[in-house]
Amino acid sequence: MIIEYKTPEAEENHIPYEVSGKKVIFDDDLSINLSKREKDDPVHIDVCFDEDGELCIGAAAGWAYVAEIDIPAREYEYPEVEEGEEPEPPVPVPLDMDKVKLTLWAVAE
């Protein structure tokens, strides 16, 4: 996973998170399965605190940014076809977490 710090102080003062397989878990509270969010187009997910200080997904419901997740567009493999054979449909490639970008914002303590 590509990690970027949106604010200079975020490296020392960001929300705790862990990556487990294809999931990102924030502060042992909010878990997002990124493979379920992957689409044919790039996906952007905002993670925020709401007005009660609870983690939520989406800037519209949020009060303060915590993190942003950018998932690249789904990739496909195209099976080789011998001359005269019918083409086979493309096969989705599993999400490569090394291509997912997590941007962390500084959070108030």
- pLDDT per residue as tens, the chain (109 positions): 999 998 766 567 899 999 999 999 999 999 999 999 999 999 999 999 988 889 999 887 668 899 999 999 999 999 988 888 888 999 999 999 999 999 999 887 6
In a domain, 85, yes or no: no
Query: What's the pTM value of the predicted model, to 2 decimals?
Result: 0.87
Nearest to 34 by CA among 78, 11, 79, 2: 2
Q: What is the 3-state secondary structure (H, E, C) of 13-32?
A: CCCCEEEECCEEEECCCEEE
In a domain, 51, yes or no: yes
In a domain, 60, yes or no: yes
Cα–Cα distance measured from residue 100 to residue 105, given in angstroms and rounded to the nearest whole number? 17
In a domain, 33, yes or no: yes
In a domain, 57, yes or no: yes
How many domains, the chain? 1
In a domain, 84, yes or no: no
Domain that holds residue 45: 2-77+90-104
In a domain, 67, yes or no: yes
